[in-house]
Amino acid sequence: MLDQAFFPPACAVATETTLEIIPEITTHIRDHWNELGEEKEKYDLDVDWIFYHRLYEQNRAHVTTARDYWSRELVGYHVVAVVRHTHRNQLCAGDLVSFVSPHEPRRAWVLLRMYRHSVAALSARGINHFRFRSKDYKSLQPLMKRLGFHPVETVYAMTMKGLTNVSDPPAHG
């Protein structure tokens, strides 16, 4: 049997703070957008960094990262928001974004390890309800089932013509 210490895993998975990791995440954001972004022909990437800073300041953000074991270069991230459930007196964790570099040869394995780490770290904070999302065109269903998740709902999206500025919502009449 091979010695695990001699052959370490390809990536180290850990919890990091949002503020420390933002500069490194920004180096991957364009690849992330190009691979998984919706309606790229209509909208350019415009990350709301203030939102992420506020989550961190309120202790409602959890960031799990994967780094190359040797170079310590960031190869993946999973950002989770901690919120109160809207119908139960319970804290919940919902993922906001997850990504593994397309250059990482063991992408699914790295993502599985990041999800496991996020669940364990948030469980240690007393959170016991998790909702992680998956794109229909990049389904994570086999991975999620392996982790013990089950499908709960389907989300539908539509973009209305002419309404593109989120800072100016339409007035209620």
Give per-residue pLDDT as tens, 136-152: 777 888 888 998 999 88
The answer on pLDDT for 162 being more than 70 is no
Instruction: Report, at the CATH architecture level, how domain 11-147 is classified.
Output: 3-Layer(aba) Sandwich (3.40)
pLDDT of residue 165: 56
pLDDT of residue 4: 45
The answer on pLDDT for 103 being more than 80 is yes
CB of 65 closer than 8 Å to CB of 80: no
Per-residue tokens: 13:
């998975």
- pTM for this entry: 0.81
More confident residue, 45 or 166: 45
pLDDT of residue 8: 52
Q: Give mean pLDDT, residues 115-132.
A: 93
CA torsion 36→54→94→69, rounded to 10°?
60
pLDDT of residue 119: 95
pLDDT of residue 129: 92
Each residue of 39-68: pLDDT tens digit? 777 778 888 989 999 999 999 999 999 999
Cα 146 versus chain centre, distance: 18
pLDDT of residue 62: 94
Q: Is the dihedral of CA 29, 117, 112, 115 positive or negative?
A: negative
The answer on pLDDT for 72 being more than 60 is yes
pLDDT of residue 13: 94
